Structure formats: C-alpha cells, structure tokens
Structure 1
C-alpha cells in the first residue's frame, strides 16, 4: 500500500513509519521540516519525506493523491488543560485534502475515555477518572472534536484510542472495539503503531473506534 503519514516525526509517528516500511508499504512522511526526520530506512524507494503545512489543504493534497490510506498521529503540544483546536483543525484540513484527492481510508490516533469501560472498578471511575479527565480536558476536547469530524465524513475512518503512552519495546497488547477495554491505563507507542498498521487493510474496523492498551 501507499500510505501518507501526518505526525511522522513524532514519537509514535516514527514507530508507524518504521513498522509500515517493515511490512512492505510505501510511505510518504509529512513533517514540519525535513531536518526533524532522519531517513534510517534500509529499503530504498519505500520512503519519501516532505515538509508541508497540515492546516493548508491545497498544500497537502499533492502528498495524498495516489495514496491508499492516510494516517494521523498528530498531537497538540503544551499544557493539556489548555484549550486547543490543533488536532481538530488539522483533521478538517486532512479530510478536505482527502476528498479533493479521492482517497477514502483514514486512521487517526486519539485518546481513550479513561476509566469508563465495563470492568473498571470504583476507584478508577470515582477517583482516578475525574482527576485524569480534568488534567487532560483541553487536549481531550480537541480530540473529541477531531473524532466528530471523522465520524461526520464519508471516509472509511478508524479511530485508534490509546491511554498514557510509554516509550518501551513492543510487547503483548490488548485491543477492543468501542472503548470497552478495562484497565486501559498505559500503552506502548510501538504497540499502538503496530495496531495502526494492522488496521490499514482491515475492513472490519472501517467506521469503528478501536482501543489499544498494554
């Protein structure tokens, strides 16, 4: 497949790029500046790196044209309590560019609805959940608006929701649909990337929410 990845230079995005290349896919990595992304691939011809403004649909459309799928691992920087629309605005731009390019498959990384799954205990629901959601309220609101734009689109979208991300090597991880994954507290970035790559050609997850956790 030919995949365009936004947020490719981020800590999770880099894993997605590496794992997509290892699976034999051709990747166009979109970054803010090409100096932020080191080309370490040993598969010549599989990776293209381009600097583009994700907020400008005409600017990113040429890098989406001809792609089989688009992946976003974009995330807002800064204090998570602070109101932001970075991810939702970027998603609106990506959807417009995909529509112009005639590309339908879209996967985006988002955040889990912490402590709200069947099986989460009273401590998780009554104490940990309000604290975590309060601390993350700015970024979570942005991500929910992002998801809303995906749901409202006519694209074949998948939202991959993850909890607190860890910089650890790949291991065993759990996956569930519609956020029903108890104890979703941590996830390894490499595992989230693996989950994203696994869903690229999986029609079962079209227009679905997928939760991944350690």
Structure 2
C-alpha cells in the first residue's frame, strides 16, 4: 500500500514508519521540524505542517491510506488535533482518499466502555491538569464522525517506550494500563491491513 503518515517524526510516528516499512509498504513521511529520514525506494520524507492545507495536500496526493500521529507537545495549540483533522478531512475528500487512522486517549468515552479504576484515576488527573487536551481528543473525533471517511480512532490510556507485548483491539476495552508506541503502531497498521473497525474507536486491551 501507499501510505502517508502525518507527524511521522514524532515518537509514535517513528515507530509507525518502522513497522510500515518492515511490512513492505511505501511510506510518505510528513515531518515538521528536524527530520533524520533518508529517502529510499520505499520511503519519502516531505515537510508537512498538518494544519497547512497546501502542505497536507502535497503529502497525501496519490496515497491509499492516511495515518495521523499528531499529539500534544510543548507549545502546540490546544486544539491541534481538531484543527489538523479538519484540514486532513478536507484534503482527503478532494483527493478521493477514504481510509484514515489515528490515535487518541481513553478520555474519549463511549457508552458501554469498560473503564478500569486505573483508567478513571489517570484520566481524572488529566482532566484536572490539562482539560483542553481531552476536549481536543473528543472534538477531533466529532469532526471524523461528521465526515464520510472510513476512519478508525484507536484509543490508549498511556503510551510508553518499551515492551512489545501481545495486544487485542476491543470495541470497549478494558484498556491495558500502559501501551508502548511500538504496540500502538502495530495496532494502527493492523486495522489498515485488515480493513477493520471502520468508523469505530477500539481500545488497545488485554
């Protein structure tokens, strides 16, 4: 497949690039800021601000699937996911691309979710300290729901660097307490290759 990865040089994006290349896919890596990618037969790096219509369109042209690894980092806008998703949806519609996969936190709740005590505790803390981040996650999902895209939003509680443990994607959890970025990247690629969880928000669980 020809896949575009937005925010490919972030911590999650780097892992997704690795697993996608290992699986034999052609990757266009959208990067912002410093990039250490070296172009090859299967990898092309393209500067891309996910809120810039023209840069997103240049990245996505000719691609089959779009992945977004946008997250909140110091100095990023409080609604960065929502604003970027609006641009991505617009561009995908114009280019005729339908499949979109992204990731957000379990603070985005659905009726029927199985919420662990640890999940409640951690998300309560985030609500108290960084409520705009959770609001942004919820709002960007609403943008997708109002679109015609075949989207999947994978939910995780807390990302970490290490472990490559087995995982199961569950419609309503319960969540694993910690998920490595490598596992999250594998889950994102899995739903792309299986064309599964269309217009759903599965949780990486146990």
Question: Quick check: TM above 0.5?
Answer: yes
Q: Runs of 4+ in structure 1 displaced over 6 angstroms?
A: none
Q: Which runs of 5+ in 1 are unaligned?
A: none
Instruction: Report the alpha carbon displacement of residue 48 of structure 1 after superposing the two structures with TM.
Output: 0.2
> Is 1:51 paired with 2:60?
no
Q: Which runs of 5+ in 2 are unaligned?
A: none
Deviation track 1:58-111 (CA, whole Å, cap 9, x = no partner) reads 2221221211100001012138xx981111001111111111111110001111
Distance 1:37 1:144, change over 3 A: farther
TM-score w.r.t. the length of structure 1 is 0.85
Hey, what's the Cα distance between the residues in 1 that align with 2:109 and 2:90? Answer: 33
Q: Which residue of 2 aligns with 1:203?
A: 195
Hey, what's the Cα distance between the residues in 2 that align with 1:114 and 1:124? Answer: 12
> Is 1:93 paired with 2:121?
no
Q: Which residue of 2 aligns with 1:188?
A: 180
Deviation track 1:102-147 (CA, whole Å, cap 9, x = no partner) reads 11100011111389843635x764x555334323412111111111
Asked whether the 8 Å contact 1:15–1:190 carries over to 2, the reply is yes
Instruction: Report the alpha carbon displacement of residue 184 of structure 1 after superposing the two structures with TM.
Output: 3.5
Secondary structure of the structure 1 residue equivalent to 2:193: coil
Asked whether the 8 Å contact 1:115–1:128 carries over to 2, the reply is no
Greater Cα radius of gyration, structure 1 or 2: 1
Hey, what's the Cα distance between the residues in 2 that align with 1:139 and 1:129? Answer: 11
Secondary structure of the structure 1 residue equivalent to 2:102: strand
Hey, what's the Cα distance between the residues in 2 that align with 1:183 and 1:104? Answer: 28
